[in-house]
């Protein structure tokens, strides 16, 4: 480095620090489309200079009693889509999948779906009532629930409407919007079986109806076999209390099944001998077929995958050469055993590398490293699960389900990488 392009050494003045801050703020403003552009490095901070952050003591321990991400990560946020937002209270936002890695979704980035806004429950007044076909109807406090044996389980939750806007063709530009109605956290809670056994199930108990304490009072019918199998009443996510958005202080966990059944702010479980056919399982969350008939009770979320990088919000910015492709795969039926990726729209498939824990009904992380020659690519991924199921193409799905569906779109996603590294959502057949 010549003397002329080496920044002047010496003690930086506070104004120098402010200048750096101002520069960052401007950079933040430029990145409005949901992807951060690489900022120009400040030569002042680069070797062989002593960087600004090495010249001062940092802030002390009590600066942030509850820690927050670096200010440089301010673009890593949930986002909503204006035309999908009828009202703020009955709406969705999306997990920024393109900004995450591994298989755990940080609590503050889990997508939200509410039918009546976030209920403001307090733990002291919280009650869970069990009634219907039980020997003794019971009301539990939160403390009561915490006296049952607890379990820790990592599960994905996917809204049945995830990718729903893509049913008739490529539409939204970013995996956050096409696939971001999924999250995966470690739940701590009590197996529902223990709570139902405490109340005592009558011999004709065949269904349960969990009901939310939010203004929507959302409820669904769940068959008793599932309730006694792996459902949980969870009060922690990733080790800390559920976030209000995720159903604080307690929600139902229905592993592998559509997110709508994971009732938040759980206030009551009625036990019955037949399904209730509530609003959310009749006029909503059913799939209208070409014949005009609707599929009833499509509970399981079938195997699905998506490439999160590169993707429209995460273009290739480094030019040709060594490139890391990564993405997520999951199956409501069990473990993901294999993920294939193609760079040329399905002419050649390569087996991707699954890295990290491979747990049933949880997200799986896959990678594929390749040398990009700078030409156009058509990226796709295809997941397999341990039942032998293979993720279908969108055309294969439409051949069976017609054009009317919204829910349960697990078709293969295509991203078009252009020569300039930009990426767009396309469909090929
Ligand atoms: N539970 C209640 N009480 N109210 C709701 O609006 N939304 C459901 C389900 N449970 C909902 C609810 C839907 S459609 C989904 S996809 C999931 O919660 C979303 O969970 P999340 O907000 O934790 O991502
Ligand atoms: Co949903």
Neighbours of 252 (CB within 10 A): 24
Atom of ligand 1 nearest to the CA of 247: 23
Q: What is the pLDDT of residues 353-368, one digit of tens each?
A: 999 999 999 999 999 9
User: Does 203 share its domain with 255?
Assistant: yes
User: The CATH number of the domain where 335 resides is what?
Assistant: 2.60.40.650
Residue 170 domain-assigned (yes or no): yes
- How many CB atoms are closer than 10 A to CB 213? 21
Q: How far is CA 110 from the centre of its chain?
A: 6
Q: What is the pLDDT of residue 29?
A: 32
Instruction: Tell me: do 334 and 415 sit in the same domain.
Output: yes
Is residue 160 assigned to a domain? yes
Closest CA to 171 of 418, 353, 409, 386: 409
Average pLDDT over residues 230-242: 98
Do 166 and 236 lie in one domain? The reply is yes
pLDDT band at 4 (very low <50, low <70, confident <90, very high): very low
Structure tokens at 49: 């200079």
Residue 194 belongs to a domain: yes
Q: Residue 202 has which token pair?
A: 């009558």
Domain match, 187 and 312 both = no
Would you give the DSSP letter of residue 19?
Answer: H
Give, using CA atoms, the residue closest to atom 21 of ligand 1.
Answer: 112
pLDDT at position 301: 98
What is the number of the ligand 1 atom nearest to the C-alpha of 259? Answer: 16
Query: Is the pLDDT reported for residue 291 higher than 80?
Result: yes
In a shared domain, residues 259 and 119: yes
Q: What are phi and psi of 246, to 5 degrees?
A: -95, 10
- The CATH number given to whatever domain includes residue 288 is 3.90.420.10
Cα 419 to ligand 2 centre (Å): 37
What SS3 class is residue 242?
coil
- One domain, residues 116 and 264: yes
Q: Within this chain, do residues 239 and 320 fall inside the same structural domain, yes or no?
A: no
Answer with the one of 244, 263, 295 that is the final residue of a domain. 295
Same structural domain, 262 and 325: no
pLDDT bin (cut points 50, 70, 90) of residue 35 is: low
> How far is residue 107's CA from residue 243's CA, in Å, rounded to a whole number?
7
312-335 pLDDT, tens digit each: 999 999 999 999 999 999 999 999
Closest residue by Cα to residue 264 from 110, 150, 132, 86 = 110
342 and 418 co-located in one domain:
yes
Segment 115-168, tens digit of pLDDT:
999 999 999 999 999 999 999 999 999 999 999 999 999 999 999 999 999 999
Q: Same structural domain for residues 139 and 218?
A: yes
pLDDT of residue 83: 84
In this structure, what DSSP letter does residue 80 have? -
Residue 13 domain-assigned? no
Range of the domain at 418: 304-426
Q: Is residue 74 part of a domain?
A: no
Rounded Cα distance between 145 and 281, Å, is: 28
Q: How far is the CA of 262 from the centre of ligand 1 (A)?
A: 6
**Higher-confidence position of 283 and 276:** 276
Is residue 48 situated within a structural domain?
no
Average pLDDT over every residue of 243-267: 98
Considering the domain architecture, whether residues 115 and 249 belong to the same structural domain is answered as yes
As separate numbers, helices (DSSP H) first and strands (DSSP E) second, the chain gives: 6, 23
Report whether residue 110 contacts ligand 1, using a CB cutoff of 6 Å: yes
Number of domains in the chain: 2
Q: Do 160 and 405 contact (CB within 8 A), yes or no?
A: no
> How remote is the CA of residue 404 from the centroid of ligand 1, in Å?
23
For residues 237 and 144, membership in a common domain is answered with yes
Cα–Cα distance list, 217 to 9, 138, 249 (Å): 64, 19, 15
Please provide the DSSP assignment of 115-183 as one string: SS------TTT--EEEEESBSS-EEE-HHHHTTSPPEEEEEEEE-TTTTGGGTTS---SSHHHHH-SEE
Residue that wins the pLDDT comparison between 145 and 34:
145
Q: How many angstroms separate the alpha carbon of residue 58 from the centre of ligand 2?
A: 43
Distance 73 CA to ligand 2 centre (A): 27
Average pLDDT value over all residues in the chain: 91
Residue keyed to tokens 């002329």? 4
- Give the residue, 159 or 405, on which the prediction is more confident: 159
Ligand nearest to the CA of 107: 1
Tokens of 104: 């755990």
For residues 204 and 10, give the distance between their C-alpha atoms in angstroms, rounded to a whole number.
81
Q: Judge whether 368 lies within some domain.
A: yes
Residue 145 lies in a domain: yes
220 lines ligand 1 (CB under 6 A): no
The finding on whether 262 has its CB within 6 A of some atom of ligand 1 is yes
Q: Is the CB of 218 under 6 A from ligand 1?
A: yes
Residue 404: the pLDDT is 87
Last residue of a domain, one of 295, 322, 356: 295
Q: Residue 38's pLDDT band (boundaries 50, 70, 90)?
A: low
Record the tokens describing residue 418, joined without a space.
């252009």
pLDDT value of position 111: 98
| Position in ligand 1 atom list of the atom nearest CA 114 | 6
> Which of residues 274, 295, 316 is at a domain's end?
295
């Amino acid at each position: 480095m010549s003397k002329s392009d080496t920044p002047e050494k010496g003690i930086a003045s506070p104004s120098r620090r402010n200048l750096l801050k101002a520069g960052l703020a401007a950079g933040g403003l430029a990145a409005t489309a949901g992807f951060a552009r690489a900022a120009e490095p400040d030569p002042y901070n680069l070797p062989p200079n002593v960087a600004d952050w090495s010249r001062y003591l940092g802030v002390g321990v009590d600066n942030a009693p509850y820690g927050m991400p670096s200010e440089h990560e301010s673009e890593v946020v949930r986002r909503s889509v204006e035309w999908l937002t009828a009202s703020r209270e009955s709406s969705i936002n999306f997990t920024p999948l393109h900004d995450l890695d591994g298989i755990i979704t940080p609590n503050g980035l889990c997508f939200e779906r509410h039918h009546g806004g976030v209920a403001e429950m307090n733990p002291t007044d919280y009650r869970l009532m069990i009634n219907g076909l039980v020997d003794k109807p019971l009301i539990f406090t939160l403390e009561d629930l915490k006296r049952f044996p607890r379990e820790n389980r990592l599960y994905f939750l996917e809204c049945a409407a995830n990718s729903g806007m893509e049913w008739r063709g490529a539409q939204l530009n970013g995996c956050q919007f096409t696939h971001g109605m999924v999250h995966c956290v470690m739940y701590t809670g009590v197996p529902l079986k223990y709570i139902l056994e405490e109340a005592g199930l009558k011999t004709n108990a065949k269904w349960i109806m969990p009901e939310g304490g939010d203004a929507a009072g959302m409820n669904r019918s769940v068959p008793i076999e599932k309730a006694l199998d792996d459902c949980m009443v969870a009060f922690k996510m990733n080790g800390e209390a559920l976030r209000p958005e995720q159903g604080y202080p307690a929600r139902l966990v229905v592993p592998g099944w559509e997110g709508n059944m994971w009732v938040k702010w759980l206030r009551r479980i009625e036990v019955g001998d037949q399904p209730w056919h509530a609003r959310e399982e009749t006029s909503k969350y059913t799939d209208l077929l070409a014949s005009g008939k609707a599929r009833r009770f499509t509970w399981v979320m079938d195997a699905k995958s998506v490439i999160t990088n590169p993707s429209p919000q995460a273009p290739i910015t480094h030019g040709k050469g060594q490139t890391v492709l990564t993405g997520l795969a999951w199956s409501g039926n069990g473990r993901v055993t294999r993920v294939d990726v193609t760079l040329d729209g399905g002419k050649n498939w390569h087996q991707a590398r699954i890295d990290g824990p491979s747990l049933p009904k949880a997200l799986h992380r896959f990678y594929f490293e390749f040398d990009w020659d700078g030409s156009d690519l058509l990226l796709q991924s295809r997941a397999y699960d341990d039942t032998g199921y293979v993720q279908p193409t969108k055309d294969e799905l439409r051949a069976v389900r017609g054009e009317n569906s919204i829910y349960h779109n697990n078709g293969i996603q295509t991203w078009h990488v252009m020569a300039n590294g930009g990426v767009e959502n396309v469909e090929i057949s």
